[in-house]
């Protein structure tokens, strides 16, 4: 649905060049809730702005439904933009208009008649749960309510794509969850493809099915959220994941363990409903090896379970290797780098 093909965006400020986006290739499929995560300055906003042509790529192309949007005429681009709704961190509501007026605004600009506008606004207010606030002004609303108005306004022209620019970053945790639930409803009930940027991993964990991690303008890792969470390849991705999922014991526990026992630690990752305890018992017994569970957790992600266990093995080196080989055929096993956090 949205395809970035080898896209770069370089800003030139005097003699200095800023490579905001570098060689990005990504594909967002219809129906995705696709999250782009990165620290400040990673290039997320620039990448979003390339989708509605608020920025033009220095290199490469952005396609929407196989159409290279940089090749559109001004008229075609206006039509294309009406297919893309956008919501913002600071809501960007018109303070001089009430809630209904804010939602009606894009419809007025698009030339709908009064009756059509009234009907659509009523429908949208109901969808976002603000039917009783139609006559209130933005200053009378909470942050969460303002973002609901923002979502209703973005949906007014029935777009195929909704772009969310840090849409929950200004909200408290509970309101964030309400807005994320609403975005999920937009995706499921209206079939709108969502592309969002965030610096908060819990947003990705809560609603996205796919994720791309950006650093210094580049996409350093991407894929289905379950795969990236259960097998992160990059240190930055691991740092984001560790902000929402504790997958290693604290330094104190690790140091104490090293003082008392030493030796290698292994991370055993199991997905779905497989349980690892009987597996470990059977295989270690077979090779006369003992095991210690140092740490363990089971989490739910994308309606699937995955577990993470940190173990040590005690016994003959050769036999320990046999245990690891046999275990690796059934679940994922990696040696823990204690400095990986
Ligand atoms: N219009 C511009 N002119 C010059 N430099 C820019 C412009 N827009 C962005 N940049 C630079 O490009 C880099 C990426 O910025 P961008 O805003 O895309 O990152 P971000 O990941 O969205 O960060 P944040 O979360 O802080 O907004 C930064 O170094 C930024 O200063």
* For the chain, percent of residues with pLDDT exceeding 70: 97
Is 9's C-beta closer than 6 angstroms to any atom of ligand 1? Answer: no
How would you class 318 by CB atoms within 10 Å of its CB: exposed for 0-12, middle for 13-18, buried for 19 or more? exposed
- The pTM of this model reads 0.86
Tell whether 10 and 150 lie within a shared domain.
yes
263 lies in the same domain as 141: no
**216 and 166, same structural domain?**
yes
CATH value at residue 336: 3.30.70.260
Looking at residue 227, which CATH number applies to its domain?
A: 3.40.50.300
Residue 235: partners with Cβ closer than 8 Å, 6 or more residues away: 340
Per-residue pLDDT tens over the stretch 41-58: 999 999 999 998 889 999
Domain-ending residue, one of 191, 210, 242 = 242
Do residues 313 and 195 both lie within one domain?
no
Residues 209, 283: one domain? no
**Which residue range is the domain that position 327 belongs to?**
251-340
Residue 36 alpha carbon to ligand 1 centre in Å: 14
Q: pLDDT tens digits, residue range 63-116?
A: 999 899 988 888 888 888 888 999 999 999 999 999 999 999 999 998 899 999
Q: Are residues 30 and 55 in the same domain?
A: yes
Q: Which residue's alpha carbon is nearest to atom 25 within ligand 1? A: 40
CA distance 229 to 286: 32
One domain for residues 189 and 305? no
Which residue's CA lies nearest to atom 26 of ligand 1?
Answer: 40
Q: Looking at the structure, do residues 131 and 228 belong to the same domain, yes or no?
A: yes
Same domain, 305 and 164: no
Helix then strand then coil, in percent of the chain rounded to 5, is 40, 30, 30
Given a cut of 70, whether residue 214 has pLDDT beyond it is: yes
When divided into structural domains, the chain yields a total of: 2
Looking at the fold, whether 197 and 307 belong to one and the same domain comes out as no
Query: Which atom of ligand 1 lies at the shortest distance from residue 166's CA?
Result: 25
**Helical ranges in 28-142 per DSSP H:** 44-51, 74-81, 99-109, 114-127
């Amino acid at each position: 649905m949205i395809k970035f093909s080898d896209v770069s965006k370089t800003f030139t400020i005097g003699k200095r060049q800023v490579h905001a986006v570098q060689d990005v290739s990504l594909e967002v499929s219809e129906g995705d809730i696709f999250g782009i995560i990165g620290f400040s300055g990673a290039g997320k906003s620039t990448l979003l702005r390339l989708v509605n042509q608020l920025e033009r790529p220095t290199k490469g192309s952005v396609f929407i439904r196989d159409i290279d949007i940089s090749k559109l005429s001004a008229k075609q681009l206006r039509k294309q933009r009406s297919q893309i709704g956008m919501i913002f961190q600071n809501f960007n509501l018109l303070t001089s208009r009430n809630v209904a007026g804010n939602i009606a605004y894009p419809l007025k600009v698009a030339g709908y008649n009064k009756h059509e506008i009234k009907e659509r606004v009523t429908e949208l207010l109901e969808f976002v749960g603000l039917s009783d606030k139609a006559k209130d002004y933005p200053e009378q609303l909470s942050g969460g309510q303002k973002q609901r108005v923002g979502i209703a306004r973005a949906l007014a022209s029935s777009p195929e794509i909704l772009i969310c620019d840090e849409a929950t970053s200004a909200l408290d945790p509970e309101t964030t969850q309400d807005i994320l639930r609403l975005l999920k409803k937009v995706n499921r009930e209206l079939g709108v493809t969502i592309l969002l940027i965030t610096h908060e991993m819990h947003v990705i964990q809560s609603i996205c099915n796919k994720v791309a991690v950006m650093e210094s303008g580049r996409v350093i890792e991407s894929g289905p959220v379950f795969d990236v969470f259960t097998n992160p390849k990059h240190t930055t991705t691991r740092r984001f994941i560790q902000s929402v999922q504790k997958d290693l014991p604290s330094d104190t526990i690790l140091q104490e363990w090293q003082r008392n026992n030493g030796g290698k630690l292994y991370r055993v990752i199991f997905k779905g409903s497989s349980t690892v305890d009987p597996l470990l018992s059977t295989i270690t017994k077979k090779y006369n090896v003992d095991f210690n569970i140092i740490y363990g957790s089971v989490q739910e992600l994308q309606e699937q379970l995955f577990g993470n266990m940190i173990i040590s093995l005690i016994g003959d080196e050769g036999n320990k290797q046999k245990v690891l080989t046999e275990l690796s055929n059934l679940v994922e096993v990696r040696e823990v780098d204690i400095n990986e956090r």
